[in-house]
């Protein structure tokens, strides 16, 4: 449900941020707000969303609206679209932030940074991979949320983004989505051949991934392991973004890796604060008019999808 008030200033840019109640998404909302953008903070849980909005207001972000959005729920997506249509008639910026790890932690999540003291980022990542279990249900949910959910939100909001004079989509990606992590050369080639790749083929590749997952054949078939579904979903989302950028040259459609950030997703491991990670995303969202599209940015700088 809609939760609050916009100043209704004319000519301001409107942004939707998915999963804005915590972590990087929360900070993206704060920073976009501080740049004069009207922010629609969305969250799947109304209470958590309303609390985040209150907190942002107390931090001085005035032009902020809450709307419920579960990215895996088509009726929730449709309700948001209707609301935006009536309220603004357009959307200028979509930040696809919401995601899950698709794993189960083997240890209590105590959010203490002490256990990572003295570790570099490779050691922290190794610790993370060793301390999670990836059940098939988690992998399926990971693909459903991180790829299909993000794609459905994007598709549903496309007409509103096209009604903007400068529509932008920033999908938060990850170094875990880089193609070099897929050692199966044929699959890697298909993910990167954007001229010939189709959404149907991407679906088939993801089905194949799940088949190989169930057959315990990920390594043998050259899929990434350790957060495997997260990695494959991010790689698929990168490919989808590139396809979308080609299809809609009037929009700016980019992917942004925020860096390794201390949030719930990383069990508070990482080297950046959510504020620093969000800055890398907001920089891409607010690139000058006519900037790059179909690109990948690693910590604010254009980089390779491979």
Ligand X SMILES: NC(=O)c1ccc[n+]([C@@H]2O[C@H](COP(=O)([O-])OP(=O)(O)OC[C@H]3O[C@@H](n4cnc5c(N)ncnc54)[C@H](OP(=O)(O)O)[C@@H]3O)[C@@H](O)[C@H]2O)c1
Catalytically annotated residues: 230
266 near ligand X, rule: CB under 6 A: yes
Instruction: Tell me how far apart the alpha carbons of residues 272 and 263 are, in angstroms, rounded to a whole number.
Output: 9
SS (H, E, C) 4-40: CCCCCCCCCCEEEECCCCCHHHHHHHHHHHHCCCEEE
18 counts as binding ligand X under rule CB under 6 A: yes
CB 160 within 8 A of CB 217: no
72 sits near ligand X (criterion: CB under 6 A): yes
| Part in contact with ligand X (CB under 6 A); list of ranges 39-47, 83-91, 126-134, 291-299 | 39-47
Q: Which of 13, 14, 16, 21 binds ligand X (CB under 6 A)?
A: 21
Q: Which residue in this structure is represented by tokens 């490779």?
A: 122
Say whether residue 97 binds ligand X (CB under 6 A).
Answer: yes
Question: Does 145 sit near ligand X (CB under 6 A)?
Answer: yes
Nearer to ligand X, 109 or 117 (CB): 109
- Taking contact as CB under 6 A, which single stretch among the options 23-31, 129-137, 181-189, 284-292 is the one that binds ligand X? 23-31
Rounded distance between C-alpha atoms, residue 167 and residue 181, angstroms: 31
Q: Does 241 bind ligand X (CB under 6 A)?
A: no
**Binding of ligand X at residue 264 (CB under 6 A)?**
yes
Contact 49, 3 (CB under 8 A): yes
Q: Which of 16, 17, 25, 182 binds ligand X (CB under 6 A)?
A: 25
Owner of token pair 């707000």: 33
- Give Cβ neighbours of residue 125 (< 8 Å, ≥ 6 apart): 260, 269
Among positions 13, 257, 279, 295, the unique one binding ligand X when judged by CB under 6 A: 257
CB 237 within 8 A of CB 109: no
* 100 touches ligand X (CB under 6 A): yes
Which of these, 36, 29, 80, lies nearest to 53 by C-alpha position?
A: 29
Q: Is 157 in the site for ligand X (CB under 6 A)?
A: no
CB of 203 to ligand X, least distance (A): 19
Contact indicator for 52, 29 with CB cutoff of 8 Å: yes
Q: Which residues pair with 132 in a beta bridge?
A: 105
Among 13, 15, 22, 182, binds ligand X (CB under 6 A): 22
* Dist CA 72 CA 4 (whole Å): 24
Given the rule CB under 6 A, which of 70-78, 81-89, 103-111, 178-186 is the region that contacts ligand X? 70-78
Report the nearest approach of ligand X to the CB of residue 250 (Å). Answer: 25
Contact between 181 and 125 (Cβ < 8 Å): no
**What are the beta bridge partners of residue 297?**
256, 302
Sole binder of ligand X in the list 6, 46, 48, 192 (CB under 6 A): 48
Of 138, 142, 270, 294, which one interacts with ligand X (CB under 6 A)?
270
The answer to whether the beta carbons of residues 105 and 132 sit under 8 Å apart is: yes
44 is a site residue for ligand X (CB under 6 A):
yes
Interaction of residue 161 with ligand X, rule CB under 6 A: no
Binding-site ranges for ligand X (CB under 6 A): 18-19, 21-25, 43-45, 48, 69-72, 97-100, 145, 149, 172, 174, 257-258, 260-261, 263-266, 270
């Amino acid at each position: 449900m809609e939760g609050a008030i916009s100043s209704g200033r004319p000519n301001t840019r409107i942004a939707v941020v998915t999963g804005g109640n915590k972590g990087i998404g929360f900070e993206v909302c704060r920073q976009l707000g501080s740049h004069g953008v009207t922010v629609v903070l969305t969250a799947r849980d109304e209470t958590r969303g309303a609390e985040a909005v209150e907190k942002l207001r107390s931090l001085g972000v005035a032009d902020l609206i809450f709307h419920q959005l579960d990215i895996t729920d088509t009726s929730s997506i449709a309700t948001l679209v209707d609301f935006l249509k009536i309220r603004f008639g357009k959307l200028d910026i979509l930040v696809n932030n919401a995601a899950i790890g698709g794993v189960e932690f083997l240890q209590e999540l105590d959010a203490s940074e002490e256990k990572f003291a003295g570790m570099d980022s490779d050691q922290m990542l190794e610790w993370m991979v060793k301390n999670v279990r990836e059940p098939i249900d988690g992998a399926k949910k990971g693909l459903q949320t991180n790829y299909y959910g993000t794609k459905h939100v994007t598709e549903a909001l496309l007409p509103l983004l096209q009604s903007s004079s400068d529509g932008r989509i920033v999908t938060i990606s990850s170094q875990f989505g880089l193609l070099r992590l897929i050692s199966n050369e044929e699959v890697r080639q298909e993910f990167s051949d954007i001229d010939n790749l189709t959404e149907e083929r991407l679906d088939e590749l993801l089905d194949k991934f799940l088949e190989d997952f169930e057959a315990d054949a990920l390594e043998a078939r050259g899929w990434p392991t350790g957060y495997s579904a997260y990695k494959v979903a991010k790689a698929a989302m990168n490919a989808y973004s590139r396809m979308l950028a080609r299809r809609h040259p009037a929009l700016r459609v980019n992917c942004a890796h925020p860096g390794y950030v201390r949030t719930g997703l990383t069990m508070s491991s990482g080297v950046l604060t959510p504020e620093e990670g969000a800055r890398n995303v907001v920089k891409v969202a607010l690139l000058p008019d006519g900037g790059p599209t179909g690109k990948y940015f690693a910590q604010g700088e254009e980089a390779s999808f491979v």
